[in-house]
Structure 1
Amino acid sequence: MRFLEELPLSPSLISQLNPNSTAKGYGGGFIGGWVDRCHGFLHNTLLVAASLFFVGYLAYEARKSFSKLSNRRSFIMIGYYGSLWLVSLLNLAWCCLQGWECSPGKEVAWNLLTLFTTSGMLFLEVSLVAFLFQGNYASGAEALTRTFLISGFVIALDLLLKAIYVFGFGVSLFIDNNENVQKYKWGLWVIHKLLLTGVYGMIFLMYNSSWRERLPARPAFYKYITIMFALYGLYLVASAFAANGAHFGFWLYGVMSVCYHALYLPLLYITFLADFFQEEDLNLENVYYSEMKDAGFFDADWE
């Protein structure tokens, strides 16, 4: 690591090693600037392709999804599906406008776009846990209101704290620059990722203990929690390394950011909405009974 830190890296080489580098001096033109700025061709193409594919899939399935929502009249699913659409469009815009991060005069617009996009995705995370703890297909307006109030309160605090850092103290939370490591910035990200890792880690441990009967009996939810626990664990490691100025930390944080923005929304859809839209009403009971049986929730009946 010391050897890497002593290498005379050029701005272009740093950009290749670190997806978060904001080195300037790229090719002109809209297409050339978009491809080369900040993150490079591979980073931008993966993000845009993944987000565009998912929005395209939602649009392709929209007619069938609207029909299912109209027939089932689940307030939870209607609210969550609408939120998913809004956040998916925000994420697509964020992926397509990566060049704003390095464009002079676009700092405020980039900060606002990133702030709302990440807050929207975090809202979906908090809501998913709250929804499933109330029952996988709770449909009452009261359950929807309670869930959105809890999620909204958590996200409002998170958004307010980030806004104070960005616009109040001038800490560039969403604009990365390896040459100016900000301890306050990475300190906040370490705490932020530590809290989320702790939440998912606690739920993961509950699933592997005698407390698992208090959790939804769905293997898909357990897999989701496992993936998110691993994701935020790596985010935490990356933030800790980046706080000490290590290039590996910036690189790993950039990789995890690509994974999160490219894959989280499809993972969310598969975990929470896919069965609702794909299974026939008469088969839902058998499907969930089979999932509960596979998860071992009826093993005690045979002892």
Structure 2
Amino acid sequence: MSRNLQATININTTASAATSVAKTNGGDESLRQCHGVLYDAVLVVPAVLFVLYLAVHAKSNVKKLYYGRSYILISYYTLLWLASALNLLWCSLQVWQCSPGKEAAWDLLSLFTSSGMLYLEISLVAVLLQESYASGLETLARTFIVSGIIIGVDIFLKALYVFGFGYPLFIDVESTHRIKWGLWIIHKLLLTAVYGFILFVHFSKWREKLSTRPAFYHYIIVMFVISATTLFGSVLAGIGAGFGIWLYNLTVICYHSLYLPFLFVTFLAGFFWEEDFLLDNEYYSEMKDAGFFDADWD
């Protein structure tokens, strides 16, 4: 009798420990926060529209990049396509968070999507701090290597915490995971500090060392606000405030829906639109020289 009782206690203890580990890993379905259709639509629709926009203008944009011969613009246009494709998959497969057996696939997709977009952030800031981003293969290679090292370390640490220690960094859960939010606080604190430092230098006596392009500072200000808001939401979520989780999710929606179009409009669209404008002027001049508009003066 006592032997059976002891076996029962051992089984219950093992089951309790397994349940605890499952909860820590975000594997308990009762703890998962599954978002509704509206949440998914807000993410998917902008991602789909932006990819369609890139696809519609891909032929003309590639031709302009070919004739422009700018290694940096070609590189960032390629990276933008890769990040947009990953982001579209990430936005479209939100249901994987609540699908049994999809946790590892979701973590991998989230890891590569977030790292791809972060690589754009870091390398873009590094390039914009240079005197010119129109050309320079050596400068581009050095920037990409340094950014790649930073992203490599970031991927290694996230993968270690997700797949090694089982922390649900990329899975939304209702319960508070202090270690999870602590990691995100450190991550967002570093980004906020970088953008904040650039803004500080801009308003200091060392401002002449930075770029004078207005678009550069508009971008930095927007990214500083997003990073600071995400940091604030992570801090509130870490202490158990429900508003913090809501605020963090809101910044995630804004980031995945608007960051890539914002980057394109700020730094790449001007090149393509300006080329269109110059091309239209060239056609107009050729037609005028050919006498197509002589009738207007009769």
Q: Give 2:95's aligned amino acid.
A: G
Distance in 2 of aligned mates of 1:111 and 1:119: 12
Indicate whether 1:44 and 2:40 are aligned. Answer: yes
Aligned with 2:83 (options 84, 87, 91): 87
Q: Could you say which residue in structure 1 is the equivalent of 2:165? A: 169
Q: Could you say which residue in structure 2 is the equivalent of 1:113? A: 109
Indicate whether 1:245 and 2:226 are aligned. Answer: no
Does the CA-based 8 Å contact 1:23-1:38 persist in structure 2?
no
CA drift of 1:24 comes to 5.6
Distance in 1 of aligned mates of 2:258 and 2:132: 22
CA drift of 1:23 comes to 9.4
CA drift of 1:159 comes to 0.6
When structure 1 is superposed on structure 2, of 242-251 and 109-118 the one drifting more is 242-251
Q: Could you say which residue in structure 2 is the equivalent of 1:266? A: 261
For residues 5-45 of structure 1, the C-alpha deviation after alignment (integer angstroms, 9 at most, x for no partner) is xxxxxxxxxxxxxxxx99968xxxxxxxxxxx811122110
Q: Could you say which residue in structure 1 is the equivalent of 2:222? A: 227
Aligned with 1:141 (options 112, 137, 141): 137
Distance in 2 of aligned mates of 1:47 and 1:158: 24
Q: Give 2:87's aligned amino acid.
A: N
Distance in 2 of aligned mates of 1:281 and 1:102: 46
Paired-residue identity, %: 56
Distance in 1 of aligned mates of 2:243 and 2:113: 26
Q: Could you say which residue in structure 1 is the equivalent of 2:209? A: 214
How much is the aligned-residue C-alpha RMSD, in angstroms? Answer: 1.9
CA drift of 1:140 comes to 2.3
CA drift of 1:132 comes to 1.2
Does the CA-based 8 Å contact 2:34-2:172 persist in structure 1?
no
The TM-score, its normalising length taken from structure 2, stands at 0.80
CA drift of 1:82 comes to 0.5
Q: Name stretches of at least 5 consecutive residues in structure 2 with no aligned partner.
A: 1-25, 279-298
Q: Name stretches of at least 5 consecutive residues in structure 1 with no aligned partner.
A: 1-20, 26-36, 284-303
When structure 1 is superposed on structure 2, of 138-147 and 93-102 the one drifting more is 138-147
CA drift of 1:207 comes to 1.8
Q: Give 2:238's aligned amino acid.
A: A
When structure 1 is superposed on structure 2, of 274-283 and 208-217 the one drifting more is 274-283
Indicate whether 1:278 and 2:242 are aligned. Answer: no
CA drift of 1:252 comes to 0.5
Q: Give 2:44's aligned amino acid.
A: V
Matches within 5 A, 1:32-71: 38-71=34-67
CA drift of 1:251 comes to 0.5
Distance in 1 of aligned mates of 2:274 and 2:207: 26
Q: Could you say which residue in structure 1 is the equivalent of 2:7? A: none
Q: Secondary structure at the match of 1:253?
A: helix
Indicate whether 1:205 and 2:200 are aligned. Answer: yes
Distance in 2 of aligned mates of 1:23 and 1:39: 16
Does the CA-based 8 Å contact 2:123-2:144 persist in structure 1?
yes
Label 1:205 to 1:281 Cα distance change in 2 as closer, same or farther (>3 A). Answer: farther
CA drift of 1:210 comes to 2.3
Distance in 1 of aligned mates of 2:274 and 2:28: 49
Q: Could you say which residue in structure 1 is the equivalent of 2:92? A: 96
Label 1:23 to 1:267 Cα distance change in 2 as closer, same or farther (>3 A). Answer: farther
Query: How many pairs does the alignment contain?
Result: 251
Distance in 2 of aligned mates of 1:178 and 1:164: 23
